[in-house]
Amino acid sequence: MTEGARTAGPIVGAVEAGQPAPTVRTTYLDDGPTVVSEYWEGAHSISVGVWVGVGSRDEPVADAGASHFLEHLLFKGTERRSARSIAELVDGTGGEMNAATGKESTAFYTRLPAHSQDMAVDLLGDVLCGPALRAADVETERRVILEELHLQEDDPADVVASLLDEALFPDHGLGREVLGTRESVEALERDGIAAFHDRWYRSPNLVLAAAGVVDHDRLVEQVAAAFAGRGGGEVPERSAPAELPCSDRGLQRPTESVHIAWGWRSFHRHDPRRRALGLGVYVLGGGLSSRLFQAVREDRGLAYNVFAGAHLYSDVGALDIHAATEPGRADELRQVVEAEVAAVAEHGITTDELEIARRGFEGARLMGLEDSGSRMIRLGNGQSLYGRVESLDEFVASLRAIRLDEVNAVLAEVLAPAATVAVVGPAV
């Protein structure tokens, strides 16, 4: 067992006089999860989460949706507790317990009243390490997930996002829907799901994060006991998507609006240019003052909302833009969005815009640390995705070091190719 260095950010909550600011502590268990925590005196809740470093991109095509299916099943009961008793235990505290499946990880978390550390670790350890995975529960959740797929298919915003992923990453796990397909969900069986759990839910892929009034030393002992027997194992081997030509996608639907998404491939999350890209995307379509919002919503009333985002994976990334408008104005929307993108790619952004984006990033990060849940997410994402938790001082310093020419160079590079476009609506 080894412990990483302590780090502290500039705004971390109240502490007792003469005591150091709350710290992030990281411990690497020899045969267990990595444990990272932030002590926050005065917190009224404690949040504990487990990040599992496997997601939908790591599934064979035939087992598409296995990560998400397993996420559902882990809440259906363990060898010690029924699904109802788990729900009653959490509800009886006023707390919450939930999970989320992504393309490269699955996260399980609970937020409980302060001083509930023992309960939180015991519950998460039980759910992740001792699931019952009963055949009857598999059939129940299969119906639930199929209904989830139906709801997603009814939402044109979700459909156009899925089409864009398929277009940007053809024949690759990143281009597949996290939930899987109706065919793959109907075909998944209990033994296959159990084998998926046994293979991937092991210590090399596990990070436990906790924030609040946390006793780190006791936390490490509790995690070692709760996750005993989940040692060994392997991490997913991933291959980047091939540089295949991307083709536009269209799906005709009798919707009231035409939904349009534009996408470009970008770089992976470890690329040193990622923050420059993030600032550029913020100026392009990240807020009410962004280029796209002003041109599309404020100046022309073409759409209720328009936004841009950057998605960074372990070996590749994507920049995308989403908007919807009435069918008769779809061509105008495309012209306006594409003109703004071309202007940013050719001429870049201004110094004033960069400063607004920089202050926006700083403010959002600091305001996002007002509860134990958001602090836990920061810890879990940092440790699981980047291998360390960046201090707030480091974060702010990195933002302030980014130059205008760096942002403009990144935008020019990413936006230089023609966009891949996905459209869902009555006329495509």
pLDDT, tens digit, 9 for 90 and up, residues 170-208: 999 999 999 999 999 999 999 999 999 999 999 999 999
pLDDT at position 368 is 87
pLDDT, tens digit, 9 for 90 and up, residues 353-367: 999 999 999 999 999
* Judgement on whether residues 113 and 218 belong to the same structural domain of the protein: yes
* Judgement on whether residues 285 and 211 belong to the same structural domain of the protein: no
pLDDT, tens digit, 9 for 90 and up, residues 72-121: 999 999 999 999 999 999 999 999 999 999 999 999 999 999 999 999 99
pLDDT at position 245 is 65
* Judgement on whether residues 253 and 220 belong to the same structural domain of the protein: no
Residue 180: CB atoms within 10 Å: 25
Residue where a domain terminates, one of 226, 257, 276: 226
Domain count, the chain: 2
For residue 420, the domain's CATH number is: 3.30.830.10
Residue 189 falls inside a structural domain: yes
* Judgement on whether residues 192 and 286 belong to the same structural domain of the protein: no
Residue 50 falls inside a structural domain: yes
Residue 234 falls inside a structural domain: no
In the predicted structure, residue 17 carries a pLDDT above the cut 70 = no
* Judgement on whether residues 222 and 257 belong to the same structural domain of the protein: no
Q: Which residues make Cβ contacts (< 8 Å) with residue 363, sequence separation at least 6?
A: none
Mean pLDDT of 65-77: 97
In the predicted structure, residue 16 carries a pLDDT above the cut 70 = no
Backbone angles phi, psi at 69, to 5 degrees: -60, -45
Which two three-digit tokens encode residue 239? 């291959």
Residue 203 falls inside a structural domain: yes
Residue where a domain terminates, one of 226, 260, 275: 226
In the predicted structure, residue 28 carries a pLDDT above the cut 80 = yes
pLDDT at position 247 is 83
Average pLDDT, the chain: 93
* Judgement on whether residues 266 and 397 belong to the same structural domain of the protein: yes
Residues 244 and 242: their CA atoms lie apart, in Å, by 5
Mean pLDDT of 226-236: 94
In the predicted structure, residue 303 carries a pLDDT above the cut 80 = yes
Question: pTM to 2 decimals?
Answer: 0.92
Task: State the residue range of the domain holding 25.
Answer: 2-226
Residue where a domain terminates, one of 226, 261, 286: 226
Catalytic residues: 71
In the predicted structure, residue 212 carries a pLDDT above the cut 80 = yes
Which two three-digit tokens encode residue 347? 């001429």
* Judgement on whether residues 183 and 286 belong to the same structural domain of the protein: no
Residue 233 falls inside a structural domain: no
Residue 300 falls inside a structural domain: yes
Residue 244 falls inside a structural domain: no
Burial of 134 (0-12, 13-18, 19+ CB in 10 A): middle
Banded pLDDT at 42 (limits 50, 70, 90)? confident
Which two three-digit tokens encode residue 103? 């393309």
Report the relative pairing of strands 106-113 and 249-252 from DSSP bridges: unpaired
Residue 266 falls inside a structural domain: yes
Instruction: Quote the crossing angle between the two packed helices 274-285 and 392-401, to the nearest 10°.
Output: 70
* Judgement on whether residues 206 and 267 belong to the same structural domain of the protein: no
β partners of residue 27: 3, 35
* Judgement on whether residues 396 and 275 belong to the same structural domain of the protein: yes
